[in-house]
Amino acid sequence: MTTISADIDVSSPAPEVRRHHGVVRLAHWLNAVTLAGMIASGLQIYLAFPHFGTKEHTFALPNPVDGGHIPEAMRLGGWLAGGLAWHFALAWPFVLTGLVYLAFLAFSGEWRSLLFRPRDVRPAIAMQLYYLRLRAEHPPQGKHNALQKAAYTFIVALGAVSALSGFAIYKPVQLSWLVSLFGGYELARYWHFLAVWTFIAFTLLHVVLVFTVDPASLRAMITGRYRGRFPSHD
């Protein structure tokens, strides 16, 4: 496996290499756009009843926007029907793009460089210590470090939870078995809501790390070509 260590002279220019396939780049940006629209329209839908539970009994669940204190600039649709229209219009492209991306990973074999495995636990801890400035040297890595693998594996699982809980809310009678798996309709709605805020937190952290750790990776996700400090293959 190709690795990089902290003693490599990163001041010398690295050769430009091909890093991301066109399918990966297209899926990345399509999902970024559709996810942003779905989050904004979902927040608009949430305002129709900004609690979890029933009108007679609300659940005591962690909820940072209980009562509906959401700025209009963060919402899409203007009212409930508009929010629903946008949400459904964007949901299918989001799901289909995700399925195409997963199919590409499966058939190309690239899933091997993204999947978090038990052997990645110790390198992930070392990388976290480095980010917290408790370790001086950058741990050796291949195309993706262990924390990135954990994040990418987690985000696929989060996407599945988001899609499945969304279907449970959309068709609670026809998919009653799915609603039951989430603990009932109101809890399915809460799981969907929780996925939204987790996506937001993941996206913010992802953007910060791109600009602070490896800005060259942004260009690579646009052009497919990479010239930076880390390897482009394992």
Find all residues with CB under 8 Å of 128, minimum gap 6, and list them. Answer: 147
- What is the rounded average pLDDT of the residues 79-100? 94
Residue 136 has a pLDDT of 84
Tokens of 197: 């805020």
Question: Distance between CA atoms of 20 and 25, rounded to whole angstroms?
Answer: 7
Question: Distance between CA atoms of 3 and 208, rounded to whole angstroms?
Answer: 23
Number of C-beta neighbours around residue 175 at 10 A:
16
Residue 58 has a pLDDT of 83
Residue 232 has a pLDDT of 62
Question: Distance between CA atoms of 128 and 150, rounded to whole angstroms?
Answer: 12
Find all residues with CB under 8 Å of 117, minimum gap 6, and list them. Answer: 149
**Model confidence pLDDT, tens digit, residues 4-22:** 444 444 445 567 888 889 9
Residue 16 has a pLDDT of 82
Number of C-beta neighbours around residue 63 at 10 A:
17
Residue 38 has a pLDDT of 95
pLDDT band at 119 (very low <50, low <70, confident <90, very high): very high
Q: Is 168 or 52 the better-scoring residue by pLDDT? A: 168
Residue 8 has a pLDDT of 42
- What is the rounded average pLDDT of the residues 145-157? 91
Largest CA distance in the chain: 66
Find the helix packing angle between 216-223 and 22-46, rounded to 10°: 100
Domain 17-226: which topology?
Answer: Fumarate Reductase Cytochrome B subunit (1.20.950)
Residue 1 has a pLDDT of 43
**pTM for the full predicted model:** 0.82
Question: Distance between CA atoms of 29 and 40, rounded to whole angstroms?
Answer: 17
Question: Distance between CA atoms of 114 and 168, rounded to whole angstroms?
Answer: 29
- What is the rounded average pLDDT of the residues 95-114? 93
Number of C-beta neighbours around residue 39 at 10 A:
21
- What is the rounded average pLDDT of the residues 197-220? 90
- What is the rounded average pLDDT of the residues 191-200? 92
Q: Percentage of the chain surpassing pLDDT 90?
A: 62
Across the chain, what does the average pLDDT equal?
A: 88
